Amino acid sequence: MKVNKAEIVISAVSPKQYPQDRLSEIALAGRSNVGKSSFINRLIHRKNLARTSSKPGKTQTLNFYRINEKFYFVDVPGYGYAKVSKKEREKWGKMMEEYFALRDTLKLATLIIDIRHKPTDDDVMMYEFLKHYQLPVLVVATKLDKIPKNKKSAHLEQVIQTLDLDPEDTVIPFSSETGEGKEDVWHYLEQYL
């Protein structure tokens, strides 16, 4: 997809702030610091529209990015960051439930995981949470630039096995650093737009 326009519309913390224009949405999910915001930036060729950081916990709100006035990427706060208080974790849980359970313009969830490692228990829980809401899930195995080429298929197999990936779902290897996998991702997303 050729991206001509990308704009942040709102950083929301509650449903009444979500956009009302009924455009389709593709939401990101994934561990803190795994590369969700970098993924958005790479897909839309913007260096830092979605704010990134080398420290976990950068994204704290649901950020709605409207692309080509056609659909939204929704960047969400990550999970699995140890230094988070119980209260913050509860706030995060409520925000995720409210969005993923009730949002009827949400067409696809994109679960970003780190290709270098076996998906964590939190990753497995997040995948199950998304499937519980009967969402189609695209798993993006990012940081592909950090593993040797000859290890790629073994790592992907580990992702499929650990998440117990549903036959309707797919995993695509990707790197925000090099852009590898970008065309495959766009091709997949376009079915939902």
The amino acid at residue 9 is V
Q: Using the rule CB under 6 A, give the single segment among 11-19, 119-127, 153-161, 173-181 that binds ligand GTP.
A: 173-181
Residue 130 to residue 142: CA distance in whole angstroms: 19
Residue 4 to residue 1: CA distance in whole angstroms: 9
Tell which one of 18, 35, 73, 181 touches ligand GTP (CB under 6 A).
Answer: 35
Give the dihedral sign, CA 122/127/128/132: positive
* Phi–psi pair at 26, nearest 5 degrees: -120, 120
Tell which one of 33, 63, 111, 155 touches ligand GTP (CB under 6 A).
Answer: 33
Residue 141 to residue 111: CA distance in whole angstroms: 8
Task: Decide if residue 184 touches ligand GTP (CB under 6 A).
Answer: no
| Least distance (Å) between residue 42 CB and ligand GTP | 8
- Contacted by 33, from Mg ion, ligand GTP, none: CB < 5 to 8 Å by type: ligand GTP
Tell which one of 135, 171, 176, 181 touches ligand GTP (CB under 6 A).
Answer: 176
Strand partners, 74: 27, 64
Residues of the shown chain interacting with Mg ion in the complex, contacts defined by CB under 5 A: 36-37, 58-59
Task: Decide if residue 175 touches ligand GTP (CB under 6 A).
Answer: yes
- 135 touches 109 (CB < 8 A): yes
Whole-Å CA distances, 182 to 63, 135, 173, 176: 21, 22, 9, 8
- Contacted by 177, from Mg ion, ligand GTP, none: CB < 5 to 8 Å by type: ligand GTP
By beta carbon distance, the residue nearest ligand GTP is 78
Contacts with ligand GTP by CB under 6 A lie at 30, 32-38, 52-54, 56-59, 77-78, 142-143, 145-146, 175-177
